Amino acid sequence: MKKNDKIRVAIYGASGYAGYELYRILKHHPGAEIKYLTAESSAGKKLSDIFPTADGLPIIRNEEVKLGDVDAAFLSLPHGAAKGVVEEITRSSRKIRIIDLSADYRFDDAAEYEKWYGRKHTSPDFLDEFVYGLTEINRGAIRKARFVANPGCYPTATILGVYPLLKSRLIDLSEPIIIDAKSGVTGAGRKPEVRLLFAEVNENVSPYNIGYVHRHTGEIEQELNKVAGSKLKIIFSPHLVPITRGMLNTIYVKLNRDKSTEELTEIFSRTYKEELFVKTLTDDAIATFQHTMNTNLSVISVKKVENSPYAIVVSSIDNLGKGAAGQAVQNFNVMFGIDETAGLL
């Protein structure tokens, strides 16, 4: 691919952890060229002023992006902030593709967004334009999409961990699917809040928004309901752990048929056998944070509980990799018809 054949990208919101991870991946992507980095609060600085290992690329304001120079836009903006950029891109004559990492366009229904996010949706008309970008499940639609809503980190780990069992009709839906999730602290963003200080997070594990409260619960529910074809019961309990990045969801499901660990593992292996970014563990290995650290991988183990109809799925992703920037680039690759692993190995 010649230099001038490269897909020109703009990263909106490059001063956050996910925005920076997009930069890190795209910098070495053989088919992409970073044209613009934006960050409203850091405009005028260089990226290296914010992240010591970055290059000195200039950071500009959203409105300074020249859309004529851009083929694809990654939006890693605060909730509600994507609207302006999406509108501008829609109005422009060019066919720029968007991968939005916020929650703004993940819901099919504005009412669901409003219920979980506690505020009016600012641009419900766009909801129909966006495809939910869980690559392994929606690849066909993503391939044809102009706009993709990149999934949340918890939903990615959960959906990939439950999908094979749900699709195989193996889950007893009369009991809830219980997701006990552990996340590294970059999942909470790069915000100057006391609760995110080193001295508050270190030597601590903090559950938060447990039960049926966290915003990602609605997203998980929407997508799993589609797979199940009926309304599931979800209990979702996230925990903050003293780790920079990574995520592990321990998922408890009641089975409606007796299956051994080996049979369950085989179902996962078969479901994901063509997938380059999903790995099913065998031989009693259990997924950990380290299985996916600094990668775009999803690593999953499944285990039947002895003398019990329950199974435990452990699903690991890097919250900044497959849980954000990695999957965004994977979707980008699919949208532009290039090698799905480009930039991600």
- Nearest approach, Cβ of 67 to its own copies (angstroms)? 30
Which residue, 87, 89, 129, 90, is CA-closest to 108? 129
Q: Mark residues 277-306: x for contact with its own copies by CB under 8 A, - for none.
A: --------xxxxxxxxxxx-x-x---xxxx
- Contact between 11 and its own copies by CB under 8 A: the answer reads no
DSSP class of 302: E
- Contact between 57 and its own copies by CB under 8 A: the answer reads no
* 25-44: contacts with its own copies (CB under 8 A): 28
Which range binds its own copies by CB under 8 A, 1-9, 74-82, 128-136, 244-252? 244-252
Number of residues that bind its own copies (CB under 8 A): 71
**Pick 46 or 167: Cβ nearer its own copies:** 46
- Report which residue type is found at 125: D
- Contact between 336 and its own copies by CB under 8 A: the answer reads no
- Contact between 1 and its own copies by CB under 8 A: the answer reads no
Longest dimension (CA), the chain: 63
- Nearest approach, Cβ of 177 to its own copies (angstroms)? 11
| Radius of gyration for the chain, computed over Cα atoms and rounded to the nearest angstrom | 20
Q: Would residue 89 show up in a list of annotated catalytic residues for this protein?
A: no
The upper half-sphere exposure of residue 151, i.e. CA atoms within 13 Å in the direction of its Cβ, equals 34
- Contact between 22 and its own copies by CB under 8 A: the answer reads no
- Nearest approach, Cβ of 14 to its own copies (angstroms)? 15
The CA distance from 208 to 342, in Å, is 36
Helix (H, G, I), strand (E, B) or coil at 12: strand
DSSP class of 76: -
- Which of 76, 237, 327, 331 binds its own copies (CB under 8 A)? It is 237
* 194-233: contacts with its own copies (CB under 8 A): 194, 196-208, 210-213, 233
**Pick 92 or 308: Cβ nearer its own copies:** 308
- Contact between 118 and its own copies by CB under 8 A: the answer reads no
The CA distance from 341 to 329, in Å, is 9
- Nearest approach, Cβ of 251 to its own copies (angstroms)? 10
DSSP string, 22-84: HHHHHHT-TTEEEEEEE-GGGTTSBHHHHSTTS---B-B-GGG--GGG-SEEEE---TT-HHH
**How would you classify residue 250: left for phi > 0, otherwise alpha for psi between -120 and 50, otherwise beta?**
beta
* 169-188: contacts with its own copies (CB under 8 A): 175-176, 178, 180, 182, 184-186
Q: How many other CB atoms are found less than 10 A from the CB of residue 286? A: 15
Catalytic residue among 73, 75, 153, 171: 153
- Strand order across the 7-12 sheet: 32-38, 7-12, 72-75, 97-100, 147-149, 130-132
Taking a C-beta distance cutoff of 8 angstroms, is the pair 106, 226 a contact? no
Q: How many other CB atoms are found less than 10 A from the CB of residue 2? A: 5
- Which of 31, 84, 124, 242 binds its own copies (CB under 8 A)? It is 242
Taking a C-beta distance cutoff of 8 angstroms, is the pair 323, 279 a contact? no
- Which of 239, 255, 276, 336 binds its own copies (CB under 8 A)? It is 239
- Contact between 272 and its own copies by CB under 8 A: the answer reads no
- Which of 12, 17, 74, 277 binds its own copies (CB under 8 A)? It is 17
The upper half-sphere exposure of residue 269, i.e. CA atoms within 13 Å in the direction of its Cβ, equals 9
- Contact between 117 and its own copies by CB under 8 A: the answer reads no
Place of tokens 């690329």: 57
- Nearest approach, Cβ of 198 to its own copies (angstroms)? 4
- Nearest approach, Cβ of 264 to its own copies (angstroms)? 12
Active site residues: 153
